[in-house]
Structure 1
Amino acid sequence: MSALRGKWLALLCLMPFALFFVAFQIAPLLWVASNSLHTAEGWGLGNFSEAFASPFYRQAMRHSLEVAFWSSLIGISIAILGSYSLRQVDSKLRDFVMAFTNMTSNFAGVPLAFAFVILLGFNGALTILLKQAGIIEDFNLYSKTGLIVLYTYFQIPLGVLLLYPAFDALREDWRESAELLGASNWQFWRYIGFPVLTPALLGTFVILMANALGAYATVYALTTGNFNILPIRIAAMVSGDIFLDPNMASALAMILVGLMTLITLVHQWLLRRSYHVSR
């Protein structure tokens, strides 16, 4: 009886979260999915056909994927080095860096865009210094390359916060044992370190991709909506900046969900494959 009472108590405690999840996650997704199938002629896949047939919308999809992929790849690469290095430094310095990382992970949106304009805009302080030093000839913050740099900035702190605990799984005696058996540093990472960290690395990369694919405020504040990515196109059709078409906006939103679902499925496949290889 006590076990049954405990299960019912756990279910009651879960109810607020379940209601919140259904109301703010499942219901809006179903509403968007339903509207994406509504066209002027009735119900069908016309919005999706138009989206994939249009070079303009295909460009938005390509730009979104390119910016998200490269910013996530560069961000996780730096985050791996940063997380591993934090394990090797003094605890006070480590605590300071982690506190700073927590703070910078929340520095995004409009303030981040303005900060980058001041630093790396056409007449930004850092841009002028780099030009005077002869390091760069020109840099366009408002281009795809500039957006990748901007996105990478807010990807790094998130990557460090997600990867830092993963390095707890690497025990120092494993390295010592590998060295005693004659393994080089590369062999340790190739056969022990990276296989252990693979689930965390893949999971972090997927989260960074989702973070970048859904970013809106930063790129809108930086380019005033002139750079063609999916969140900008969706917002423009919902707010009516060009023309009001919420059904097409819903279709583009579902395409964004589909891209993220595809990335997650690839992530799960890679996880299973790495698990079988490690066995």
Structure 2
Amino acid sequence: MSAPSSLRRWLPLLCLLPFAVFFLVFQVAPLAWVAINSLNSPNGWGLGNFEKIFASRFYMQAIKHSLEIAFWSSLFGMAIAILGSYSLRQVDSKLRDFVIAFSNMTSNFAGVPLAFAFIILLGFNGALTLLLIQLGLIEGFNLYSKNGLIVLYTYFQIPLGVLLLYPAFDALRQDWRESAALLGAGAWDFWRHIGLPVLTPALLGTFVILLANALGAYATVYYLTTGNFNVLPIRIAAMVSGDISLDPNLASALSMILVGLMVLITVVHQLLLKRSQHVTR
């Protein structure tokens, strides 16, 4: 075998080596460390940390709150993102470019600035809250409750959903709609038999990404509630950096539960995706 052909064979692997090292050091190794330490409890090696979590109403409440907030904010955010992405296809290109650029910017607007902005708008004495109360539309709004956090999470889900779903509408060709109309199909028939089956992989994938985005969100909810609302990321951080409840092994167990939830969601996503592809065929 000549030297140039041998080089062509090994060059892709050499180019992949930095990524492989980075992936092992910053992805696989920390996950393995967390998994091992989650099995280390005061009673020795075993499932003691997990038994403590599932026997505690406090930790189960954190899991419940995280799942509820993630699910509803992802659902609302994706619904609005679907309407927004589809509407962008119907407007002028300059306005479309502006909205996409704005979505790209606001998708990174989180943490302290986002928490401060929502306190100013929707806090107990927020401008929008007081306006809605004066109009008689609401009696009050608690931004620091579960419903308030769902509104907050939905805000930063919408730009991400738009960025993910906007390219998916490229798959819907205009001649398909025209052909369906010529054959007597209405708008509902088109979306039921053509539009939704084509968009299903993108919709399912976007929903999973939004769920992961909400389940792992920490900075915004921490600065908004100063760590007093019971969700998984807050509990994990408190056990790693807290002075009173320092327990990194229990935090590792909670982290593995969070990883397990994401694995379960991903598996369900793949099963639904295969089923939708089978139905469309």
Pick one of 173, 185, 188 that aligns with 1:186.
188
Deviations 1:64-108 (A, max 9, x none): 000000000000000000000001111011011111111111101
- Residue of 43, 46, 53 corresponding to 2:45: 43
Quote the Cα distance in structure 2 between the aligned partners of 1:141 and 1:177: 49
Matches within 5 A, 1:74-93: 74-93=76-95
Distance in structure 2 (CA, Å) of the matches to 1:33 and 1:272: 30
Aligned to 1:273: 275
Aligned to 1:231: 233
Q: 1:250 pairs with 249, 252, 263, which one?
A: 252
In structure 2, which of residues 9, 12, 24 is the aligned counterpart of residue 10 of structure 1?
Answer: 12
| In structure 2, C-alpha distance between the alignment counterparts of 1:3 and 1:246, rounded to whole Å | 51
Aligned twin of 2:99: 97
| CA deviation profile, 1:143-187 (whole Å, cap 9, x unmatched) | 000000000000000000000011110000000000000001011
Equivalent positions of 1:1-279 (< 5 A) are: 4-279=6-281
- The Cα of 1:135 is off from its aligned counterpart by 1.0
Change (3 A) 1:73 1:244: same
Report the identity percentage. Answer: 79
Deviation at 1:6, TM superposition (A): 2.5
Q: Deviations over 1:33-53 (max 9, x none)?
A: 000000112110010011011
Superposition TM-score, scaled by structure 2 size: 0.98
Q: CA RMSD in A?
A: 0.9
Structure 1 counterpart of 2:162, which letter? V
Q: TM-score, normalised by structure 1?
A: 0.98
What displacement does 1:241 show?
A: 4.2
Q: Where has structure 1 moved over 6 Å in runs of 4 or more?
A: none
Matched residue count: 279
Structure 2 regions of 5+ residues with no counterpart? none
> Secondary structure of the residue that 1:233 maps to in structure 2?
helix
User: What letter is aligned with 1:23?
Assistant: V
Q: How many angstroms apart in 1 are the aligned matches of 2:7 and 2:78?
A: 45
CA offsets 1:102-144 (integer angstroms, 9 cap, x no match): 1111101111001000000000011011111111111000000
2: CA distance between counterparts of 1:240 and 1:75?
A: 33
Could you tell me how far 1:4 is from its partner in structure 2?
4.5
Q: CA deviation at 1:3?
A: 5.4
Structure 1 portions without partners, runs of 5+: none
- Deviations for 1:233-274, whole angstroms, at most 9, x for unmatched residues? 000111124311110000000000000100000000000110
